[in-house]
Structure formats: C-alpha cells, structure tokens
Chain A
Amino acid sequence: MADLTNDRIPTVVADGVDIVYRVNGTGAGRGSATAALNRIVRRKQTEKASGVRRVHAVKNVSFVAYRGEAIGLIGTNGSGKSTLLKAVAGLLPVENGHIYTDGQPSLLGVNAALMNDLTGERNVHLGGLAMGMSREQVRDRYQEIVDFSGINDKGDFITLPMRTYSSGMAARLRFSIAAAKDHDVLLIDEALATGDRSFQKRSEDRIRELRKHAGTVFLVSHNNKSIRDTCDRVLWLERGELRMDGPTEDVLKEYEAFTGDKSPQAKPKPKAPVPS
C-alpha cells in the first residue's frame, strides 16, 4: 500500500476533468416552437441565448487509480458519481482535462441490450455478445451464468420470456450476465443493491473475485457497508467536486458525519437468521 508511486502501475488517470451536460429546451426559450427553430437555424449563437442550459456535473477532478485497487465512489444524490464513472468508461465526453485508461474500462451493466420479450436463455447469449464476448466464450460460461443467477432454483424459468420474471429475478440475471466477463478496469454502479440477501452475498463474493482478475474496480454505492466490505480506497464527490480521497475508513467517517449519520460505527441491525 505504502509503495512508491513508481512501483505501482496506474490504470486510470483523471487529469483535471470537467464534465458539462447541455440540456435543450429550457430557460429563456421555454421550448416554444420559435425558440426551437431559432436553435436549429442559428447553431453557432451563444448557448445561453438559445435556451440551452449547462449543467456542470463534474468539476476539476484529478486522481490516479492503480492496478489492484478497489475504489469506492460516494456522495449524496446528484453529486456526479455516475457521470464520472461514465466518463471513465469513455461513454461521456469531458469538457476540459483528460482521462487516460489502460485498455477499455467497462461499465458493469447489460440491461439495455436485453429484451424482455426473449427468453432468459437467449438474453444470456445476447448480453454476452453485447459485452464483446465471443460465441464460444458465451457457450462456455452459459451454465455458470445461469447457476449463479439462481433463476432455475425454483423451476425451469430460463426458457421463459424475461417479461415473466419478477423484478428481483430479472435483476439477478442481469447482474449475472454482466459479471460473467473478466475486465481490466471494472466500473460498477450500485449493482450490489439487487436481489435478496443471499444473492447480495454471492454478488459481493463475485466482485471480490472479479477484483482479483481485474486491474482496478470502481464501485458507486450508497450502501456504506458494501463500500466497506469491498473497497480499500474511497473518492468522495460533492456537487461535482472531489472533496476527499483516501483510505475507506477515514473518508467514510467524514462522510457519515457530513450526511448526519450519528452512529457511523454501529453495525447494521441484526438480521433474523435467513434460512437459505
């Protein structure tokens, strides 16, 4: 941990990153027809006059992530965590600064590629291919994915269309597909909050396993416990600014004081023993 910077291999370097969203049809124009027409005709005019609002979501954030680290991203809602993650994945442009990465970071999530009208089985194939796995890899991992999701625990559900699944079952299958691939840099956005307790447990184990293979893991979560369980370093974003960057315990203590959690050290309420 205390090694010199030179001995550690950086996987993600963020250098003074600013991210700005532009939203059409707000402000002065109020989305009226003339304002919209104006916007299309006079592209080059100042954004303010054309009713485009700028939302400065991430402001001047710099950090270096190293191989083997698991980094938690915390902050209140709307503080820019997910936005920063998307920019690291190369899915959002940066306004200023640069993000350098080792290989292609992947955001853990295949929800968008899956189709509710298709069977779970076909969705496993489709999701795997969408993540860039080859057909052979998908075939090899298929049984593993289905077993991990536990979809077939209560009967042969994998051959039913996904629209017939309960929301928990669908979420479990999605996580299982997404977690099936090994990634260099893995970005996870609140994925651990899905499923029942036993599945959450399995998910956390799988994250740890992925972390072993992956160079670096980023985890966005509002669940301080899962941050504590999986991460050894935490970045705290507030209103788009990097407020703190350091070892998990230090940052979480400050964060919990900030959010008004009076009993930061209290263990989560004892759970009734769940038979499973």
Chain B
Amino acid sequence: MSQVLHTPPQAPAPADDDLAALAARHGLSVSGARPALPEYVRQLWARRHFITAFATAKLTAQYSQAKLGQVWQVMTPLLNAAVYYFIFGVLLGTKHGVPDYIPFLVTGVFIWTFTQSSIMAGTRAISGNLGLVRALHFPRAALPLSFCLQQLQQLLFSMGALVVILLCFGVPVGVSWLLAVPALFLQFTFNAGVSMIMARMGAKTPDIAQLMPFVLRTWMYVSGVMWSIDKLAQKDSLPHVVTLALAANPAAVYIDLMRFALIDSFHASQLPAHVWALAAGWALVAGVGGFIYFWKAEETYGRG
C-alpha cells in the first residue's frame, strides 16, 4: 500500500517548478503575505464595525456575571479613588497644599487608569487572543485598537462619575470643560500607539505581561497621580532636568491637561511650557510610530 505515493490527480500534475508559473499565470497571490501600509489602513477601516462591536462586547461581558451588572462600570473607578484618597489624602496627608484635593486626585486616578489599562490590555492583545488570530483573517491592529476603545468606553463611564464628584465638591462648570475632548482624543491616540508597540512585544515574548504591572506602577508614582508635580518643582531640592522630565512625561501631561480643563483652581501656570504641543507630539510619535511598528510584524502574529 505504500507504493501509491503521489498518484497524480486526473490531469497529469505539472512539475514542481511549473507550479509557481501556473500560479502566476492565473494571478494567484501568496497566502498570508503582509499588505502594503495604505492597503493595511484600508483593510482596518473596513473592519471598523468589528472593532467597535468587539470593544462593546468585551465591556458588556466583563460584568455580566455580577449581580449588580453594569453598575460596576461606575463603582470600580469610584472605589479606586476612595482607596487612594484614604491612603494618600487621610493617612499620609499628601493633600496639604493642593486645593480641591479630591477632584485633583480622582481626575488623576481615572486618567491614569485609562493609560494603564490600555497598555496592559495591549500587551495581551495578541498573546491573549491567539485563538482568534489563528482562526480568522483581519488586520491584527484591530485587536489592540479594540482593547483601547474598550478602555475609552470604560473611561467615559468614569468621567460620568467624575462630573458628579466635581459638582459635589463645588467645582464650577466652565467653558474649559470642553478642552477635555481634545485632551482625551490625544491621550487615546497615545494609548493606542503604545498598546500596539506592547502588543508586538507581548506577541513575541509573552513574559512581558508579567513584567508590565511593575513598570506601570513605577510610572504611576512618578506621574503625579496622587501628588502635584508642580509643588515638587517649587521645592528646588531636585535638579532642573528631573523636574522637567517629570513634567514632560506623557502620562503627567495628559493628567494635568485634564485637571486644567476640569478644575478651576488648577491654573495654567501649573502646566509645563508648551503643554498642548507636548500632548500632540507624544500622541503623534506614539500613534504613528506604534502603528508602523505593529504593522511591520503583521504576518508573524499568532504563529510559531
């Protein structure tokens, strides 16, 4: 029975070197090749409904087993803010010197959480969804983008809670609140870019997902989530370079922009110089760079 190897099909099979020619003659293309960048962007745009549907589905599925259901969307960020307030505001007393400390803190926590969870989700976007990547064809950038979109939706719930907190603590509604929209847009672009970078690294070395919580926690403590970078800078105990680096750090920039937009006692003088240029620059560099970096390895995801 072993002599039946390579029984030709009905028509005599062409010799091996003819196969490539045959494929070329009929205009067949190599399976699974990476598309060019413009084509990739077009494919991604064609999948926009999948990206949004996947993000919304993830968000809804998150609390579907809980008794309180979607109430947790608002409860989780509020509880987070309460814990930080208790530790930093009450026990350690960081609040001295910062006016409107609770709105200051809660804004910081929410905005930071957006960046943090986007990056964390991005790290696992490919490595945690290998089943999906190996079963279906779609531009892989859809995954990190979808996870960032889910985090943005989550943040919008938190912002709802934030508005209530702001009003409770007597922060007046102002025109400057409108600045929150461009600030969020820039932050989202930045987050998506970093997520895509982390998604590629996490796909190659899944161990990074174990490491990221530590990196992110360090990043959080230097980003002025619970304390004011501006106050620290006034102390003169730190070299100028350090305070400059602290203030130019993208997380700090987006957090302070949001505080400036929402809290009336947070003045423009507390912002680093050229803050909007910084915010847009970070978004542009991370967004475009991350996207290209991710696309470069498109054909390798979910393989090996």
Contacts and interface: CB of A to CB of B under 8 A. Distances in A.
Interface of A: 1-5, 8-16, 21-22, 40, 62-64, 86-93, 98-102, 104-107, 109-113, 115-118, 122, 125-126, 129-132, 134-135, 161, 233, 241-247, 250, 254, 257-258
A64 B137 contact: no
Nearest to A22: B304
A62 B13 contact: yes
A245 B6 contact: yes
B57 A118 contact: yes
A115 B137 contact: no
A109 B135 contact: yes
B22 A13 contact: yes
A258 B1 contact: yes
Interface in B1-50: 1, 4-14, 16, 19-20, 22-23, 26-33, 46-47, 49-50
Contact of A125 (B53, B134, B138, B304): B53
B210 to A, nearest CB: 12
B47 to A, nearest CB: 7
B89 interface: no
A15 B54 CA distance: 37
A9 B28 CA distance: 10
Chain B CB count within 10 A is highest, among A14, A86, A130, A161, for A130
A263 to B, nearest CB: 17
Contacts of A247: 10
B64 A113 contact: no
B137 A257 contact: no
A118 B47 contact: no
Interface string B266-304: 000000000000000000000000000000000110111
Contact of A117 (B7, B12, B14, B64): B64
B20 A15 contact: yes
B61 interface: yes
Contacts of B129: 112
Given A13-B20, A63-B13, A245-B7, 4 more contacts: A3-B11, A22-B304, A100-B19, A110-B135
Q: Which of A4, A22, A86, A113 has the most CB of B within 10 A?
A: A113
Given A89-B137, A132-B138, A243 B22 contact: no
B97 interface: no
Nearest to A129: B50
B176 interface: no
Interface in B31-85: 31-33, 46-47, 49-50, 53-54, 57-58, 60-61, 64-65
Given A100-B29, A111-B131, A132-B47, A126 B57 contact: yes
Contacts of A254: 1, 4
A9 to B, nearest CB: 6
Interface residues of B, number: 52
A7 to B, nearest CB: 9
Interface in B110-144: 129, 131-138
B137 A91 contact: yes
Contact of A93 (B7, B138, B303): B303
Contact of B57 (A5, A99, A122, A233): A122
B106 to A, nearest CB: 29
Contact of A5 (B14, B46, B133, B136): B14
B16 A9 contact: no
B265 interface: no
A135 B28 contact: no
A57 to B, nearest CB: 12
A98 B22 CA distance: 12
10 closest A-B pairs (Cβ-Cβ)? Answer: A90-B32, A100-B23, A112-B131, A100-B28, A90-B31, A117-B61, A15-B19, A129-B50, A112-B132, A117-B64
A272 to B, nearest CB: 36
B147 to A, nearest CB: 14
B138 A5 contact: no
A136 to B, nearest CB: 10
Contacts of A87: 31-32
Contacts of B29: 100-101
Contacts of A106: 136-137
A172 B148 CA distance: 32
6 contacts: A12-B28, A90-B32, A91-B137, A93-B300, A122-B57, A257-B1
A181 to B, nearest CB: 11
B86 to A, nearest CB: 32
Contacts of B303: 91-93
Contacts of B137: 89-91, 104, 106, 132
Contacts of A115: 57-58, 61
A161 B49 contact: no
Contact of B9 (A21, A91, A117, A246): A246
Contacts of B11: 2-5, 8
Contact of B53 (A40, A99, A129): A129
A246 B138 contact: no
Nearest to B23: A100
